[in-house]
Every structure is written in structure tokens, then in C-alpha cells.
Structure 1
């Protein structure tokens, strides 16, 4: 099974999720450091749709200026555009497999799609 993780190596939860993926037999992991290679607004929209969540639910508030920018109350397109332009606004880690997408907070949520 292929698993793609949108990863921030400075984030403990992201590192723990990556470790779970790497330790699971039969999982081929693709790591995308999303701060270096940000997903497009369209890709983010697809990830959140497949995870059954809104872009606002995937918005990182802590350590960002998202609240000051009014993003928690903004429409989907505005939030997605802001995330694509400033990927620090993306809550992490997002993991995508053939079984679905999860925002892996806590990291054990990744087990739902393995």
C-alpha cells in the first residue's frame, strides 16, 4: 500500500505518524515536506473532502496569524488559497492512502487508513 504524508520534520506528531507508517509492513511511504513543496488549493480541497472535513477544520491556528486574518470564519476558497500561499497554515500531518485521508492528530488516527 502506498501512503503519502504531508510532513513537517519539526513537528513531533508528524514525526510519530511517519514512524508508524515506516514501521508498518507493506507500506510504501512518500514524504512531502509541505513547507518546501506546498500542495495546491485544489489538492488541499481534495484531501479535506476525502477526509470528510472542511478546510477550516484543517486550518492551523496555533503559531499562525490565521485568527487575525479572519480565516476561521472565511469561506472555503479563501482558506484554501491562504493555505496554498502560506503552507504554515496547514495543520499537520495529513496522510493519504487508498483507504482515505486523515489529519493524524493524534498520530494513531493513521491506523484508520492502513
Structure 2
């Protein structure tokens, strides 16, 4: 099985999710999304496949998203902010041929393995 993780190596949940993927035997592609930001179409697809709105995937902790008025903003505004600043996307997102998940907690990744 192939898997792609949008990963932040500084995040414990992201590291644990990556460990689960590797232990599963999946062929893992790691995208450090802070270095290689999402393109809008891919982010929209990942959120759709995860069953999430942009508001549900918005990362507040450790960001200025709330101060910038993103809480309660419309989907298009949040998506534009996420593309411009990928730190606003909660992590980690994982995609396999079985779907996509926001893996918080990390064991959610097992749903798509």
C-alpha cells in the first residue's frame, strides 16, 4: 500500500503517525508541508476525502489564526489562508488508496490502512 503523509517533524502526533505508517509496511511518501506547502486543489481534495470542512481542519494552537479572524470565517477565506500559511492546517493529514484522514489522534491512520 502507498501512503502520503503531510508531515511536520516537530509534531509528536505527526511523528507517531509516521511510525505507524512505516510499521504497517506502507510505502510512505513524506511531504514536509511547511517546506512544500499545499496547493489549493490538493488541500481541498484532502479535506473533502477526510470529510472535513476547512474550519474543522483549522489549527488554532500555536498560530495566530484566531487573531487574524479565521475562526468563523467562510470556507474560501480559510482555504486561502491555509494555502498562504500551511501552519494553519492541522496535522498530520494522511492519504492512502482507502481515503484520507486528519490523524488526530494518530491511531485514526489505521482507518485507512
TM bin, normalised by shorter chain, reads: over 0.9
Which residue number corresponds to residue 19 of structure 2? 19
What is the RMSD of the two structures over their aligned residues, measured on CA atoms? 0.7
| Aligned ranges 1:31-110 → 2 under 5 Å | 31-110=30-109
Cα distance, 1:43 vs. partner? 1.1
Partner of 2:10: 10
- Supply the distance in 2 between the matched residues of 1:72 and 1:33 (Cα, whole angstroms): 25
Which aligned runs of 4 or more in structure 1 are off by greater than 6 angstroms? none
Distance 1:55 1:36 in 2: 21
Instruction: Give the aligned length.
Output: 113
Instruction: Give the whole-Å Cα distance in 2 for the aligned partners of 1:58 and 1:43.
Output: 14
Structure 1 distance, partners of 2:52, 2:58, is: 11
Structure 1 residues 72-81 or 97-106, which shifts more?
Answer: 72-81
5+ unaligned residues in a row in structure 1: which ranges? Answer: none
Q: Distance in 2 between matches of 1:105 and 1:13?
A: 7
Query: What runs of 5+ residues in structure 2 fail to find an aligned partner?
Result: none
1:62, distance to aligned residue in structure 2 (A): 0.4
Structure 1 residue 70: Cα displacement: 1.3
